[in-house]
């Protein structure tokens, strides 16, 4: 049986991530001849060339790209093992499950899914962090987060493999207090012309769905407020300041929690939700519980 030298693979992986031996030397704190020599030994073991030089950088060959993909899996699994073992805690401390949520994500929807993680392991400590997607992805890559939940997929990155797992999709529903809903439900969607409305800010995915839909129906409602935080938006809606959007998948929960009613449902746009991890194959029990719960609730 042939054995792979994982030190050789580690040096290769580091150079492939950074594109130069010099940067890998800085990270690994090793001399350039050491790393170069170890990579040559790996190429000899595999019987394949892994890099070609393009200017000052090293580019992966076709075989090199395949080896890099396996290396990503191997080292992310090793890091995951360390996180899981260390996360179990000592002296009776609970294991930690750290989730990042994009700050514009619907909080009722995200909360709905996160409850499944606690049900899967009631003894674990659930830690939720909110931020913009790029910052959450940085924390995910360095294993400060176990999972990121977002309404857009992570963009491709040539240096780091991040995997998008589609949780499902949901339509968009407009809600309002009973008084406003009774007034604007009749003749929907044309009744929205001039109607008071509360919207997410311009960079939110939901806003990017709403604006084209309103334009398509030639509607110009009166925008009363724009909000980064979905809970603040819904709180203003609950107080009767205007009509507000939410996920159709949790209509009943929004109506119950905020004591509002459905004004109408948008006919075309769909919201998509993603679990973003550094794992190609999901293994963490809490992540699996969230994904399974989401896919039961959302159409996939």
E strands within the chain? Answer: 51-54, 57-60, 96-102, 125-131, 147-150, 163-170, 172-176, 196-200, 222-227, 244-247, 261-265, 271-277
pLDDT digits (tens, 9 = 90+) for 199-218: 999 988 899 999 999 999 99
pLDDT of residue 90: 47
Residue 43: the pLDDT is: 92
- Which residues of the chain have a pLDDT value below 70? 1-2, 79-94, 157-160, 299-300
Residues 6+ apart with CB under 8 A from 61: 48, 49, 50, 51, 52
Q: What are phi and psi of 298, to 5 degrees?
A: -105, 155
What Cα–Cα distance (Å) separates residue 204 from each residue in 174, 224, 258?
A: 16, 17, 22
Three-state DSSP string of 106-143: CHHHHHHHHHHHHHHCCCCEEEEEEECHHHHHHHHHCC
Fold (topology level) of 88-169+272-297: D-Maltodextrin-Binding Protein; domain 2 (3.40.190)
Superfamily of structural domain 172-269: Periplasmic binding protein-like II (3.40.190.10)
Residue range(s) of every CATH 3.40.190.10 domain in the chain = 88-169+272-297, 172-269
What would the pLDDT profile of 135-158 be if each residue is shown by its tens digit? Answer: 898 888 878 888 999 999 988 764
The 10s digit of each residue's pLDDT in 265-278 is: 998 888 899 999 98
CB atoms within 10 A of CB 10: 19
The pLDDT value given to residue 158? 47
Three-state SS at 17: helix
Of the candidate CATH numbers 3.30.1370.160, 3.30.70.3340, 1.10.10.10, 1.10.167.10, the domain formed by 6-85 belongs to: 1.10.10.10
| pLDDT tens column, 73-95 | 888 777 666 655 655 544 555 67
145, 181, 142, 140: which is closest to 264 by C-alpha? Answer: 181
Instruction: Give one DSSP letter per residue of 56-75, joined into a string.
Output: TEEEE-HHHHHHHHHHHHHH
Please give the C-alpha separations between residue 191 and each of 72, 94, 182, 199, 237, in angstroms, as whole numbers. 53, 53, 11, 17, 18
């Amino acid at each position: 049986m042939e054995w792979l030298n994982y030190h050789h693979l580690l040096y290769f992986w580091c150079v492939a991530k950074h594109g130069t031996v010099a940067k890998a030397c800085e990270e690994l704190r090793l001399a350039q001849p050491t790393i170069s020599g170890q990579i040559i030994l790996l190429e000899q073991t595999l019987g394949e060339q892994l890099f070609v030089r393009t200017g000052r950088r090293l580019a992966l060959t076709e075989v090199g790209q395949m080896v890099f993909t396996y290396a990503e899996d191997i080292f992310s699994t090793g890091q995951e093992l360390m996180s899981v073992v260390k996360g179990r805690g000592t002296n009776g401390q609970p294991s930690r499950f750290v989730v990042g949520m994009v700050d514009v994500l619907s909080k009722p929807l995200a909360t709905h899914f996160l409850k499944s993680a606690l049900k899967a392991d009631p003894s674990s400590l659930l830690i939720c962090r909110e931020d913009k997607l790029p910052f959450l992805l940085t924390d995910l890559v360095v294993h400060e987060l176990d999972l990121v939940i977002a309404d857009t997929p992570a963009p491709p990155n040539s240096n780091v493999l991040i995997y998008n797992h589609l949780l499902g999709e949901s339509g968009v529903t407009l809600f309002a207090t009973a008084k406003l809903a009774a007034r604007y439900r009749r003749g929907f969607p044309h009744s929205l012309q001039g109607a008071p409305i509360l919207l997410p800010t311009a960079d939110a995915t939901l806003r990017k769905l709403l604006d084209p839909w309103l334009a398509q129906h030639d509607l110009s409602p009166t925008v009363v407020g724009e909000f980064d935080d979905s809970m603040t938006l819904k709180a203003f809606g609950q107080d009767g300041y205007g009509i507000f959007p939410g996920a159709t998948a949790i209509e009943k929960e929004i109506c119950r929690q905020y004591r509002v009613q459905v004004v109408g449902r948008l006919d075309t746009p769909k919201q998509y939700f993603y679990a973003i991890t550094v794992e190609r194959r999901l293994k963490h029990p809490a992540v699996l519980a969230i994904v399974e719960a989401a896919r039961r609730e959302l159409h996939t």
